[in-house]
Amino acid sequence: MKINSTFRNISFVLLVTLMLSACGVRAVEPVAALALTGVSTETSTPLPAPAETNTALSVPTETLIPASPTASRIEFSVRNASFEVKVIDIQRPFQVHPGGDTVFTAGEGNMLLSLGIKVTNYTGTDIPLKWSDVYLVNKYQDKWYPVWGAYQKTNANIDPFTVQILEYEVDPAIDPDAKIFMGDNGYLHVIYRLPKDNLYYYFGFADLPLIEVNYRYH
């Protein structure tokens, strides 16, 4: 009986050990599985490097007026072999009354700019000049021609704004063949209709160097 009892005890101990051993293995497996699934497999993708900036291309390349030669200031005259020109004064009239009952205004977003110019002719003969050769231009090379203008030949020193503006318009878009005949000495009075959004303009006369006209200081 003792032998049987001892055998039963040993068998029970072995059975318990085997059971505990089996439970221990099974208990470890889920923990290992959880540990594996908890590891993130996401890879960190670096952001692309910013493209190189070509600083040479970021510099504005627009050609500003004057391309050549350097523009003169308004208080100085410019000259070549044929002419000498000086802008005596500028005004910003509210309206133009060239004659009769007609009154002109600049219209919304525009302004009127009047220039009084002294012209000296060195050729010794009257020279015909188109009104399109008496122009204003901005730094973007947009160009405007006088809407009204008149010339008075005289050797006296006069106020160019006293030169009577003609009743008809001299804009080359209206009369492309209209001309001025420049004598030895004389004065031009010209009026332009211009946008207000330009800070300043350049006055051009034939092929003479440009003259900067900053109307905000007048």
Residue found by looking up tokens 């070509």 in the block: 54
Considering only CA atoms, which of 169, 62, 188, 46 is closest in space to residue 117? Answer: 188
Looking at residue 12, its pLDDT comes to 58
Q: Is the dihedral of CA 167, 172, 178, 179 positive or negative?
A: positive
Domain ranges of the chain: 1-34, 78-217
Looking at residue 19, its pLDDT comes to 56
Local structure of 211: helix, strand or coil: strand
Q: Maximum Cα–Cα distance for the chain, whole Å? A: 157
Count of CB atoms within 10 A of residue 52's CB?
6
8 A C-beta contact, residue 121 and residue 143: no
What kind of fold does domain 78-217 have according to CATH?
Immunoglobulin-like (2.60.40)
How high does pLDDT run on average in the chain? 76
Q: Which residues in the chain come in under a pLDDT of 70?
A: 1-70, 217-218
Local structure of 59: helix, strand or coil: coil
Looking at residue 159, its pLDDT comes to 96
* pLDDT tens digits along 154-197: 999 999 999 998 878 898 888 888 899 999 999 999 999 999 88
Local structure of 182: helix, strand or coil: strand
Looking at residue 47, its pLDDT comes to 36
Looking at residue 14, its pLDDT comes to 56
Q: What is the rounded CA–CA span in Å between residue 96 and residue 136? A: 19
| Omega before 30 within 30 of 0, i.e. cis | no
8 A C-beta contact, residue 86 and residue 118: yes
Q: Is the dihedral of CA 5, 11, 17, 20 positive or negative?
A: negative
Looking at residue 199, its pLDDT comes to 83
**pTM to 2 decimal places:** 0.67
Tokens of 84: 């000498």
Tokens of 72: 């003169």
